[in-house]
Structure 1
Amino acid sequence: MDAFQFEIARVIAAKAKRQQRVTYQQVGEAVGWGHPTGRGLGPHLEVILHHLKDRGLPPLTTIVVKKGHRHPAEDAMAYIRSALGDIDIEAAQQEVLAFDWSTVPEFGPTRDHLPEDRGSWLTSFWGFDPGGWGCIGFADEWRRNAYLRGSQPGGLVAIYVTKNKGPLNMRGKVVGVLEISHEAGHAKNFISGEHWAAKESSPERKGKWLYAIKATRAWRIVPEDWKPVEELFPEAYGNNNAELIGANGVPLSQQETAALYSLDVYEVPVYGQAGQVDPTIQTLESALNPSRAVKPASSPYWVGETDGPKHLYILKLSGNICVYLGRSTKELEEKAIIKVGFSKSPLARRDQIQSAYPKGTFTWEVFKPSPQPDTPPYANAEIAIVGEDAMKKRLVDEKAQPLGGEFFLADDWLIHNVWTAGRVAAEKAQAAAESSITKEQPGQVVSAAE
């Protein structure tokens, strides 16, 4: 094993010590791999597995799984069986989780790769808008004191939206995460004037949740990862009634914390926060680790995200674009303002761009893909860039009007044409990349993790 493979093993062993499986994406992000979702890590995992076997140690790499899965995928099982035979994978994983990895010094978990276990809780809100509501609130001082005694500064609180209040598309789903200090005070101190006035003018909310604790950071979960609270946190939600969760908050188990850490998020402002936020789309676990440098792009509308599977997208501005551009209806007939690009989450990118606009009648919507597939179709940013460049080229060739950055004024017919051009180019680039990998490593299981 080389130094890089030992680094991978340390990341996996640290998870095993916490009785948690680890996703390929988490491993990739932790070690700074070119494809954080794990594309190409298979050969390294295979070397680690043989090293473990030779030393008589449990098969550590068997707890590396695809996101949302309990066991390795069949392609990964191929090289596991080649090393260990036809094993019982569940039994092998339990052996890994039960083993004391601190007895193997070179595999000892390091604080550099995984965030400090700061504790995590669950509570409910009527929505999620930390830019105006920078705290968690309690009805009574004794409830707040109970939370303070049971938590530590910097603890994480997962937020789900109540099932009978809040935006319809958010109800019952876990949509955000707050980092909570131990700075206690009156709720008015941690809520914007606009939000405070709206709360106090509502008969349902007036005078409630006044015993507050300040939030210091916040992350919005990408909409593609919004899950019903009972699905994401079956223990915390299933073992407590909704009123108790909303009133007091309840702690999450280690396994549920692991599920929370695996969600894709991006940081958003908190009311009263002084520092800048990092809008990179990444797992919560990666967001809590020391930041890796992200190379900036030349576009003024770009925000970073870790590499890995991508969607192409076209956003369309909804509203009276004649008023927006100050032109006649006839001049803009059958035209639209669009933005083209790529992202792990078109819905999150839409929300990030919308947040830079004043509230009003003009809103961005995801025009393509429609419907959006459950998983991103392109393996990495390099492939998606080919598709994005093809969309821009088609727009320029057909004389669409550039509006700055990746924004264009285009005819309706052209927008559909542009989408087809981008998809075709990206699919060709992906096929070429897959062919290249096969030629470079014949007979090798390369993408045991994608």
Structure 2
Amino acid sequence: MSSALPAGKKMWIRAFYGFGPEGDGYVGWSQEAGRNHILKHIQDGDLIMIYGAGSVETEKTLRSHVLGFVQVDATPIRDVDKSSEDSLAWKKSRGWQEKWTYGIPVRRAWRVDEKVMISTIAFKTYRPEAGQAIGVWGAELQEEEIKQALKIKVSETNVFGEPPVTSDALTNSPFGEEFKPTRGFPGTSGKREASYQDGETFLYLAKYDGNAHAFLGKPKTFGPQPAAFKIGVSNDVKARMAQLNSGIPPAAKARWVPEMEASFPDRKAAENAEQLYKDNCKLESLGGEFFWGKAEDASKAFRSLPGVSRF
């Protein structure tokens, strides 16, 4: 099981009254300032762990318990953009029409299959006295807390406005299973209620241009030296490289640089090629989308992929 998220991804926590992505395909805020605050920090593909708020509106058995995880996009929307009619009617029946109207879209969601208290997972970030602030602003989890979160057993569930989950979706398994190299962590495409357009997507092979041996604790040997590589998909490779390098100090010489890329008509086609690379390349897996090996082996595996060799 993986003990970390894919490179560049973060996990946040947020308190709410319940967990119903099947009808509410968004995470909402009642004040635009709260939503805009998270947009300054969150990235496409980040995760939010939802737990039951400690208020009377939350069912007693759910209060302070982890309810589920959602993968979101950093895109501002309104509740009506990604809510079912039944969900909007439910809000209206309780006089909550003006609540949680400012949102960001949920693309995928996982419901927790076991009873877990938020305090046992977010043991550094969560504080009962800060519950209201976390509900409004959210909070980013630390690495050791994420490791605990990835042990929770979950099942993927449908999200309103997104394609239904497939037969191979994660079921009653540790959340970290979603991040194994054999599974990847795909984005989503298809018909959506929010303003999202699928289209040309690039498969890229990036190389760590720096002292990868020191970076990974690998001993140097005689002859041509192996290197660290990353396979991935993006609709903007340049922006993706900037995101990957954002955690590296500006003064450092090392950077992730694109070695090869190929265009595909949509994200699904690019992700299929990415999975073929993960399944068939001869490089050593470093977890997630990262590999270790000779440059010629990395590039040969890339060029051999269907839809790549012609570029």
One-letter amino acid matched to 1:123: R
- State the alpha-carbon separation in 2 of the partners of residues 171 and 143 from structure 1: 22
**1:230 equivalent in alignment to 2:230:** no
The 1:114/1:193 distance shift into structure 2, 3 A limit, reads closer
Give the 3-state SS of the residue equivalent to 2:177 in structure 1. helix
Q: Which residue of structure 1 lines up, in the alignment, with residue 195 of structure 2?
A: none
**1:204-243 matched pairs, under 5 angstroms:** 205-223=96-114, 226-238=115-127, 241-243=130-132
**1:122 equivalent in alignment to 2:13:** yes
CA contact (8 A) 2:157 2:165 kept: no
One-letter amino acid matched to 2:149: L
- State the alpha-carbon separation in 1 of the partners of residues 181 and 81 from structure 2: 30
Of Structure 1 and Structure 2, the greater helix share is in 1
User: Which deviates more from structure 2 when the two are superposed, residues 183-192 or residues 275-284?
Assistant: 275-284
Q: Which residue of structure 2 lines up, in the alignment, with residue 254 of structure 1?
A: 143
**1:290 to partner: Cα distance:** 4.8
Q: Which residue of structure 2 lines up, in the alignment, with residue 152 of structure 1?
A: 43
**1:114 to partner: Cα distance:** 6.1
Q: Which residue of structure 2 lines up, in the alignment, with residue 195 of structure 1?
A: 87
Q: Which residue of structure 1 lines up, in the alignment, with residue 77 of structure 2?
A: 185
Q: Which residue of structure 2 lines up, in the alignment, with residue 434 of structure 1?
A: none
**1:4-403 matched pairs, under 5 angstroms:** 26=1, 115-164=6-55, 165-203=57-95, 205-223=96-114, 226-238=115-127, 241-277=130-166, 278-292=169-183
- State the alpha-carbon separation in 2 of the partners of residues 258 and 146 from structure 1: 26
**1:292 to partner: Cα distance:** 4.9
- State the alpha-carbon separation in 2 of the partners of residues 114 and 180 from structure 1: 14
The 1:135/1:221 distance shift into structure 2, 3 A limit, reads same
Q: Which residue of structure 1 lines up, in the alignment, with residue 254 of structure 2?
A: none
- State the alpha-carbon separation in 2 of the partners of residues 217 and 198 from structure 1: 22
Q: 1:28-80, CA deviations, whole angstroms, 9 ceiling, x for partnerless residues?
A: xx6xxxxxxxxxxxxxxxxxxxxxxxxxxxxxxxxx9xxxxxxxxxxxxxxxx
- State the alpha-carbon separation in 2 of the partners of residues 130 and 150 from structure 1: 22
Normalising to structure 1: TM-score of the pair? 0.38
Structure index of larger Rg: 1
In the alignment, structure 2 segments of 5+ residues that lack a partner are 185-311
CA contact (8 A) 1:268 1:279 kept: no
CA contact (8 A) 1:115 1:285 kept: no
Q: 1:249-300, CA deviations, whole angstroms, 9 ceiling, x for partnerless residues?
A: 111111111111121111000111125341433221111335559xxxxxxx
The 1:292/1:233 distance shift into structure 2, 3 A limit, reads closer
Q: Which residue of structure 2 lines up, in the alignment, with residue 41 of structure 1?
A: none
Give the 3-state SS of the residue equivalent to 1:144 in structure 2. helix
CA contact (8 A) 2:170 2:178 kept: no
Give the RMSD, CA atoms, in angstroms: 2.3
Q: Matched residues, percent identical?
A: 26
The 1:195/1:117 distance shift into structure 2, 3 A limit, reads same
Aligned residue pairs total: 181
- State the alpha-carbon separation in 1 of the partners of residues 39 and 124 from structure 2: 22
Q: 1:405-450, CA deviations, whole angstroms, 9 ceiling, x for partnerless residues?
A: xxxxxxxxxxxxxxxxxxxxxxxxxxxxxxxxxxxxxxxxxxxxxx
One-letter amino acid matched to 2:29: F
Q: 1:77-136, CA deviations, whole angstroms, 9 ceiling, x for partnerless residues?
A: xxxxxxxxxxxxxxxxxxxxxxxxxxxxxxxxxxxx963340010001111111011111
The 1:254/1:166 distance shift into structure 2, 3 A limit, reads same
The 1:240/1:290 distance shift into structure 2, 3 A limit, reads farther
CA contact (8 A) 2:70 2:107 kept: yes
- State the alpha-carbon separation in 2 of the partners of residues 238 and 114 from structure 1: 24
- State the alpha-carbon separation in 2 of the partners of residues 186 and 127 from structure 1: 19
Normalising to structure 2: TM-score of the pair? 0.54
In the alignment, structure 1 segments of 5+ residues that lack a partner are 1-25, 31-63, 65-112, 294-450
- State the alpha-carbon separation in 2 of the partners of residues 148 and 114 from structure 1: 20
- State the alpha-carbon separation in 2 of the partners of residues 117 and 246 from structure 1: 24
**1:140 to partner: Cα distance:** 2.0
